[in-house]
Amino acid sequence: MEYLSTDKILVIDLGTGDIEQDEIDEGLVQEKIGGIGMTTYLYEKYEKDEPIIIGTGLLSGTTYPSSASGQITAKSQVTGKLCHCPVIYKVGLEIKYSGFDYIVVKGKSDKPVYLWVHDGVADISDASGLWGKNVWESTDELRKFVGDDLLQTMIIGPAGEKGSNFAQVCFNHWSSPDRFGFGKVFGGKKLKGLAFRGMGMIEVAEPEDFVQRSLEILKDIKENSFLGNKGVGAMLGALKEDGMGDYLDPVTHRHSADYFTPYATNTALFLDEDPGLLPESKKDEPGILVSDIYALAAFKKLGLSVKDTGLALKACAKYGIDPFAVATLCGKTTLADITGSFDTIRGEVAIPGRGLFTSWCPVRPIFNDFGLSSEDETLAWWERRQAVAMIFGIQPMFALMCPEITENNLLELANLGTGLELSQDTLDAVVQHICG
Amino acid sequence: MGIKINALKCTNCMACEMVCSYHRDDGFAFLSACIVAYRAREKKDYFGVLLKEEEVLIVARPEGLEINKIGEEADPDKKADASAKPMLLREGCDLCEDMDDYGPMCIAFCPVDAITLD
Ligand code: SF4
Ligand code: SF4
């Protein structure tokens, strides 16, 4: 596969230590498009090896607005279903630029390992020194070891190592959209995580047209008045979670965006530092970056002060445990009790619809209404929107905000980028296969 | 004439970095960008934009602009970023003079209009 692709699938067997690289057949892209179309195919191909499939969308890391996301596809040991977790921040981007469109992780290691993926090569590395460390310590140590602060990680903390049903695969230092307990799947394979870095180049079949159309789409997107907002508080406000703005204001530092995403979906809270500080903080860990709007709202509902909510979110991110599960299932109401409960939480987090996509994304539009009326219609729209976003690599929260991200223009840009002729029928078939 | 960056408006999305590199490489990469979203102080939520011009490196920090002449020692308390070093080897901003349809690409593509023409 020559365009919009590294042309490489990495296949790693943790049991034998074998590492192989496969080329990506153009015919397969014509059939499965990419993202979770392809990770689902790869999962089915390697199913007997209980694989974790990591992938990128066909448009990930391009100039298509919000082409930020990658995907983790695996069978959740909690729900028993094949589920898809979006890879957000700048981590999805780095997967592709480190040299691979897809990574298949098969089998189980008998000792802790991590995968170091960089510039088109991959190593299985000893993680015995990282095992037992929390998410922040592990990411910091990997960055120090490689000597690169821009190293991007997928990592588990103690929750994943201990096999908690609520263990997340975290990204860099932060909580992730993982509501499927994928941290437990990593932990069961003695896989501490993956580290990505690369300076690859992605070729485009029709670069000028691709970039020109990207700009036209971006200009249309910028007409939306919701882009006057930033951050998680405004998103919760649009979802009628009242009072969030006032609650967060005293600790809000800045808002930041995932790669090429016009809306800043992440908000940093400063807990141990003046939130109005503009110069670099002298403190190493002044706060927490928040992307999980429902975890934030759930801690507030427990009656925590905003500072304690921030500290609870930070403790969850370090431990590598789903903060929404903690907030809704722990049955505690003080920070000390909440952070002391991580190993004893029981219960279930509801996964909407067919159980494929994460409830980290609201099951309804944000800021715009997309002309939806009934609940059933909204749920069907949401599942399709999530599937399409994760086939092409679109930031899944932004896909719920922005009507200018259309199946039509995604296909158009995919065709300009690849030189293939992907049709609406192909997309329908891929979505149908994923959603069943 | 040059470009001006408002680091407080910036959301660290890297769009400018991608399109700047594209204008030199005709493919998608980050290798040749002379504008870079610096993001190495992730835990501190400290980010802004670096711009390499012909003879100066401009660091658009949230607290204000800093202009360093290339070749001179920067203030050791204010180490720019891991991204600054490789940038020194790259070509400086040419205002995308060859991109007739767009003008400066980073200005056209910044989703939050944090970059303007000075
Ligand atoms: S004007 Fe062009 S060359 Fe200059 S920084 Fe922006 S994109 Fe790069
Ligand atoms: S494109 Fe704009 S918002 Fe994005 S990193 Fe560059 S200056 Fe910041």
Q: Write a three-state SS string for chain A.
A: CCCCCCCEEEEEECCCCCEEEEECCHHHHHHHCCCHHHHHHHHHHCHHHCCEEEEECCCCCCCCCCCCCEEEEEECCCCCCEEEEEECCCHHHHHHHCCCCEEEEECCCCCCEEEEEECCEEEEEECCCCCCCCHHHHHHHHHHHHCCCCCEEEECCHHHHCCCCCECCEECCECCCCCCCHHHHHHHCCEEEEEEECCCCECCCCHHHHHHHHHHHHHHHHCCHHHHCCHHHHHHHHCCCCCHHHHHHHHEEEEECCCCCCCCCEEEEECCCCCCCCCCCCCCCCEEEECCHHHHHHHHHCCCCHHHHHHHHHHHHHHCECHHHHHHHCCCCCHHHHHCCHHHCCCCCCCCCCCCCCCCCCCCCCCCCCCCCCHHHHHHHHHHHHHHHHHHCCCHHHHCCCCCCCHHHHHHHHHHHHCCCCCHHHHHHHHHHHHC
ipTM above 0.85, yes or no: yes
Q: How far apart (Å, rounded) are the C-alpha atoms in residues B34 and A372?
A: 44
CB-CB neighbors (< 8 A) of B21 in chain A: none
Give the C-alpha distances (Å, rounded to integers) separating A291 from A114, A146, A295, A299.
25, 27, 9, 14
Instruction: Fill in the DSSP letter of residue B34.
Output: S
B1 band by pLDDT with thresholds 50, 70 and 90: confident
H-helix or E-strand spanning residue B105: helix B105-109
CB-CB neighbors (< 8 A) of A214 in chain B: 109
CB-CB neighbors (< 8 A) of B102 in chain A: 215
**Out of A44-48, A101-105, B67-71, least confident range:** B67-71
Contact B82 A149 (CB under 8 A): yes
Q: How far apart (Å, rounded) are the C-alpha atoms in residues A319 and A268?
A: 19
Q: For an interface test with A, which of B6, B10, B13 has the most A Cβ atoms less than 10 Å from its Cβ?
A: B13
CA–chain centroid gap for A16, Å, is 29
B78 band by pLDDT with thresholds 50, 70 and 90: low
Contact A260 B15 (CB under 8 A): yes
Residues with Cβ < 8 Å from A139, sequence gap 6 or more? A151, A153, A155, A172, A173
Three-state DSSP class for residue B12: coil
**Domain annotation covers residue A350:** no
Q: How far apart (Å, rounded) are the C-alpha atoms in residues B45 and B61?
A: 12
Whether residue A73 is found in the same domain as residue A170: yes
Tokens at A88, concatenated: 């957000």
Whether residue A109 is found in the same domain as residue A246: no
Look at residue B74 in the predicted model and tell me its pLDDT: 58
To the nearest whole Å, the CA of B114 is away from the closest chain A CA by 12
Whether residue A333 is found in the same domain as residue A255: yes
User: A382 alpha carbon to ligand 2 midpoint, in Å?
Assistant: 29
Contact B28 A212 (CB under 8 A): no
Q: Which of B19, B42, B45 lies nearest to residue A172, judging by beta carbons?
A: B42
Contact B88, B57 (CB under 8 A): yes
User: B2 alpha carbon to ligand 1 midpoint, in Å?
Assistant: 9
Three-state DSSP class for residue B76: helix
Q: Which of B31, B40, B44 lies nearest to residue A150, judging by beta carbons?
A: B40
CATH of the domain at A189: 3.60.9.10
Q: How far apart (Å, rounded) are the C-alpha atoms in residues A149 and A145?
A: 10
Residues with Cβ < 8 Å from B23, sequence gap 6 or more? B96, B98, B99, B105
Q: Which has more pLDDT, A55 or B78?
A: A55
Whether residue A41 is found in the same domain as residue A113: yes
Q: Return the CA Rg of chain B.
A: 13
Whether residue A334 is found in the same domain as residue A392: no
pLDDT digits (tens, 9 = 90+) for A103-161: 999 999 999 999 999 999 999 999 999 999 999 999 999 999 999 999 999 999 999 99
Look at residue A321 in the predicted model and tell me its pLDDT: 98
Whether residue A298 is found in the same domain as residue A428: no
Most ligand 2 atoms within 8 A of CB, residue of B6, B10, B21 to mutate: B10
Residue B81 has pLDDT above 70, yes or no: no
Look at residue B101 in the predicted model and tell me its pLDDT: 81
Whether residue A162 is found in the same domain as residue A234: no
Whether residue A323 is found in the same domain as residue A377: no
Q: How far apart (Å, rounded) are the C-alpha atoms in residues A421 and A30?
A: 7
Whether residue A25 is found in the same domain as residue A101: yes
**Domain annotation covers residue A106:** yes
**Domain annotation covers residue A349:** no
C-alpha count within 13 angstroms, C-beta hemisphere, residue A43: 23
Residue A378 has pLDDT above 70, yes or no: yes
Indicate the number of domains in chain A: 2
Q: Which of B15, B31, B40 lies nearest to residue A201, judging by beta carbons?
A: B31
pLDDT digits (tens, 9 = 90+) for A61-109: 999 999 999 999 999 998 999 999 999 999 999 999 999 999 999 999 9
**Domain annotation covers residue A161:** yes
State which ligand 1 atom lies nearest to the alpha carbon of B96. Answer: 2
Whether residue A326 is found in the same domain as residue A423: no
| Cβ burial, residue B94 (10 Å; 0-12/13-18/19+) | middle
Look at residue A195 in the predicted model and tell me its pLDDT: 98
Which backbone phi and psi does A221 adopt, to 5 degrees?
-60, -40
pLDDT digits (tens, 9 = 90+) for A240-270: 988 898 999 999 999 999 999 999 999 999 9
Contact A251, A233 (CB under 8 A): no
State which ligand 1 atom lies nearest to the alpha carbon of B3. Answer: 1
The residue whose C-alpha atom lies closest to atom 6 belonging to ligand 2 is B16
Look at residue B86 in the predicted model and tell me its pLDDT: 75
Instruction: Give, to the nearest 10 degrees, the angle between helix A375-392 and helix A36-45.
Output: 80
H-helix or E-strand spanning residue B17: helix B15-25
Tokens at B3, concatenated: 């470009």
Whether residue A389 is found in the same domain as residue A252: no
- Average pLDDT rounded to a whole number, residues A279-307: 97
Q: Is B35 in the pocket of ligand 1 (CB under 6 A)?
A: yes
For chain A, the average pLDDT equals 97
**Domain annotation covers residue A347:** no
A377 band by pLDDT with thresholds 50, 70 and 90: very high
Is the Cβ of A136 closer than 8 Å to some Cβ of chain B? Answer: yes
**Domain annotation covers residue A182:** yes
Q: Which has more pLDDT, A19 or B72?
A: A19
**Out of A167-176, A192-201, A379-388, B79-88, least confident range:** B79-88
Domain carrying residue A325? 230-339
Most ligand 2 atoms within 8 A of CB, residue of B20, B49, B116 to mutate: B49
Look at residue B88 in the predicted model and tell me its pLDDT: 82
Interface of B with A (CB under 8 A): 8, 11-15, 18-19, 22, 25-31, 39-47, 61-63, 82-83, 101-102, 108-109, 111-112
State which ligand 1 atom lies nearest to the alpha carbon of B19. Answer: 7
Residue at which a domain ends, from A339, A373, A396: A339
To the nearest whole Å, the CA of B39 is away from the closest chain A CA by 7
Tokens at B103, concatenated: 């003008």
User: B51 alpha carbon to ligand 2 midpoint, in Å?
Assistant: 12
Whether residue A9 is found in the same domain as residue A122: yes
**Domain annotation covers residue A135:** yes
**Domain annotation covers residue A300:** yes
Which backbone phi and psi does B4 adopt, to 5 degrees?
-120, 135
Q: How far apart (Å, rounded) are the C-alpha atoms in residues B35 and B45?
A: 19
Look at residue A242 in the predicted model and tell me its pLDDT: 83
